[in-house]
Structure 1
Amino acid sequence: MKQNILIFFKGMAMGAADVVPGVSGGTIAFIMGIYDPLLESIRRINPSLISKWNKEGIYVVWTHINGTFLCSLLAGILTAILTLAKVVSYALTEHPIVIWSFFFGLVIASTILMIKQVRNWSIIEILL
């Protein structure tokens, strides 16, 4: 249950980022360490689920796509979008430097995290 609540709040952070023009919730997902599980869960949603559902049942399909994770995350995203859209719009209008600085900091943090993941630096990695 604690894990689902944590995923919900991570979804809220993603939703808050999505409300800001030019900022990606994917960046927040990457920083929070849920980007890979999110992509994997989405990748598993495909037409083969219909036959899996018919043969093995809904519980197996739900587990296969990590349905609890996806629902907790989506609930957080939607909650943030519905509740924070006006707040973020107000903050962008009244305090733009603070808001943009915060999200610029998130971009810098994600860049640092990506750099740390590169184990062997070569000329190609440096150029890219």
Structure 2
Amino acid sequence: MAVADSVPGVSGGTIAFLLGFYDKFISSVDDMLTGTMERRKAALPFLLKLAVGWAAAFLICAVILANLFDTYIYEISSLFIGLTVCTVPIVVMEERSSLKNHYPHIIFTALGVAVVPLMMYFNPVSRESSVDLTQISPQLALFLFIAAVLAVSVMVLPGISGSTMLLIMGLYVPLISAVSAVIHLELAYVPMLVVFGLGMITGLVFIAKLLRYCLEKYRSQTIYLSIGLLIGSLYAIVLGATTLDVPRPPMSFETFSILFFLLGAGILALLQYLKKRAEKKAA
């Protein structure tokens, strides 16, 4: 989940969905944040295991990606595309019972597809030079807080990752670089990262309860929307190179790497294998 959340493409929520514990994840987060003491105690062990693994993997990914993103942007983006493209049919197959006979709800897929390009088109920050997170200002703090709320909201959806949302807003590379810098004890980035963290906590409180309600009452609409967000995220990934400190051209057929695309597909195949193996052991 942390690897998925740290890169533009599929979300950590998608990984939880593909591995079969998404509903438990959402309900556990909701119980931990707003449930009774008894429910919190029941949710704590499960969430603690996830949190430890997520934090460790995210920090490792932040260090690696900060060093590789500029040099291998097209290869990494090709891998993201492989992950995203191959996730769509898996989500459809896993949720075929909730999607079947609810075909009018495909309008939510169209809405999800349109959201990402529209956000990139109307977002001026993604066209400017990279944001400097060492410069403390009320405007930047507010922007980071709102971005964090939006990022964590899509992060827990079985769709696009929070990193894709940050890519759309022109914050992905600055934040990954800032996390890597703090790990290396460059503390000038800490205040803005704290603001971002507070935004993530705020967003998580609201989105967990909302998603739990939507999955229980409007599951087909929610899944159709998630599929649309996944498809729409391909647009953000293709344009990912334009958000670097030194912008580069969008991905083209010449810069697309079929090898890394297949690697992304292979990662998903491995996840499906692990899921089926775990299901057999549980049975």
Report the TM-score range of the alignment, normalised by the length of the smaller protein.
0.5 to 0.7
Query: Which of 70, 90, 102 matches 2:47?
Result: 70
- Structure 1 segments unaligned to the other structure (5+ residues): 1-13, 53-59
Classify 1:121/1:105 alpha carbon distance in 2 versus 1 (closer, same or farther; 3 Å). Answer: farther
Mapped to 2, the partners of 1:103 and 1:96 lie a distance apart of 10
1:26 aligned onto 2:4: no
Report the Cα offset of residue 99 of structure 1: 1.4
Aligned partners of 1:17 and 1:25 also within 8 Å: yes
Query: For residue 67 of structure 2, what is the aligned residue in structure 1?
Result: 90
Report the Cα offset of residue 18 of structure 1: 2.2
Query: Which of 6, 23, 43 matches 2:30?
Result: 43
Deviations 1:6-36 (A, max 9, x none): xxxxxxxx21222225653222222332322
Mapped to 1, the partners of 2:58 and 2:46 lie a distance apart of 18
Classify 1:87/1:118 alpha carbon distance in 2 versus 1 (closer, same or farther; 3 Å). Answer: same
Deviations 1:39-77 (A, max 9, x none): 01112222522xx4xxxxxxx853x21x22211111111
Letter in 2 for 1:109: C
| 2:79 partner SS | helix
| 2:53 partner SS | helix
Moved over 4 A (4+): none
Report the Cα offset of residue 38 of structure 1: 0.7
Please report the TM-score for the alignment, with normalisation by the length of structure 1: 0.65
Aligned partners of 1:28 and 1:106 also within 8 Å: no
Query: For residue 2 of structure 2, what is the aligned residue in structure 1?
Result: 15
Aligned partners of 1:15 and 1:78 also within 8 Å: yes
Mapped to 2, the partners of 1:70 and 1:108 lie a distance apart of 29
Deviations 1:64-107 (A, max 9, x none): 21x22211111111001222212122222221222112222222
Mapped to 1, the partners of 2:5 and 2:66 lie a distance apart of 12
Aligned length in residues:
104
Report the Cα offset of residue 109 of structure 1: 2.8
Mapped to 1, the partners of 2:83 and 2:12 lie a distance apart of 11
| 1:44 partner SS | helix
Mapped to 2, the partners of 1:21 and 1:105 lie a distance apart of 12
